[in-house]
Amino acid sequence: MPEALSELIGTDGLADSVELKALLACPAGPAAEALTGRAAPTWSTRRSYLVDTPALDLLRVGVEVRLRRRTRGRYDLAVSARRGGSTAHRGTPRGGRVELDVVPGGLWLDVEVRAEVDPEAAARAIEGAVAGVDLLSAAQRAWACRGGAGPVDDRRLRDLRVHGPLVVSRVKVAAARWGLRRADLEHFRFPSGRELVELSTHCGPREVAETVPAFERMLDEQHVVCASAYRPRTAVWHDELDPARRRN
């Protein structure tokens, strides 16, 4: 276990939950068959959207705003700020939830303020008929402006637009034999066709010491090959939407 991880989990109350995740080097279909033991496992599909300015003012300071379509036509919106190193122990906004994300070679805290969104308002924002800022609550607007590595002028939020969709397909993996409650295999397809395949599991902060080796054992025993490095979805969104990166 990395020394930094030992330090973080030794701090009571730092995180509400922990997510362990790894990107896979193999396509989603073969990975699902290997992990579930079924030739044609059942996938569920939903759509998610990034809400940011054309200049990506929020992503640039480590803030991600996600609009997610849920079951039965419902929507929710989350404003998340990533923290690590010296910023890990900064205050958490009222109503915020803190998750410790652990990936091969790294970890960070994700501090999120989530709220339900009116389905009609969400649909209109996706169509571009209303401004993206109208979807955010007052608490979410405040967190979007001050939760990141640097402040964002509140006036920049007037330029928020809905980007996407990101199509997310998920299959549940029964993982009790490895000592895990459950694991999720997710396939992410971005508007350009870029893809990521990710395996993840959740646990409580005090269960990390047992969960990390169990997660690694599942990967080894099922002969699932991990990608050489973890690349967060925010980095792919940068590639999708940043004009400078698209030119390169």
What's the pLDDT tens digit per position in 53-93?
999 999 999 999 999 999 888 999 999 999 875 455 567 88
| DSSP letters spanning the chain | --HHHHHHHTSTTS-SEEEEEEEBSS-HHHHHHHHH--SSPPPEEEEEEEEE-TT-TTGGGTEEEEEEE-GGG-EEEEEEEEE-GGGTTS---TT-EEEEEEETTEEEEEEEEEEEE-HHHHHHHHHTSS-GGGGS-HHHHHHHHHSSSS---GGGGGG-EEEEEEEEEEEEE--GGGT-S-EEEEEEE-TTS-EEEEEEEEE-GGGHHHHHHHHHHHHHHTTPPBPSS---HHHHHHHHH-HHHHH-
What's the pLDDT tens digit per position in 104-139?
888 889 999 999 999 999 999 999 999 999 999 999
What's the pLDDT tens digit per position in 188-216?
999 999 999 999 999 998 888 899 999 99
The domain spanning residue 78 has which CATH number?
2.40.320.10
Question: Does residue 152 lie within any of the structural domains?
Answer: yes
Q: What is the pTM of this model?
A: 0.91
Question: Does residue 247 lie within any of the structural domains?
Answer: no
Question: Does residue 63 lie within any of the structural domains?
Answer: yes
Question: Does residue 117 lie within any of the structural domains?
Answer: yes
Count: domains in the chain: 1
Question: Does residue 173 lie within any of the structural domains?
Answer: yes
Residue span of the structural domain in which 106 resides: 3-242
Question: Does residue 248 lie within any of the structural domains?
Answer: no
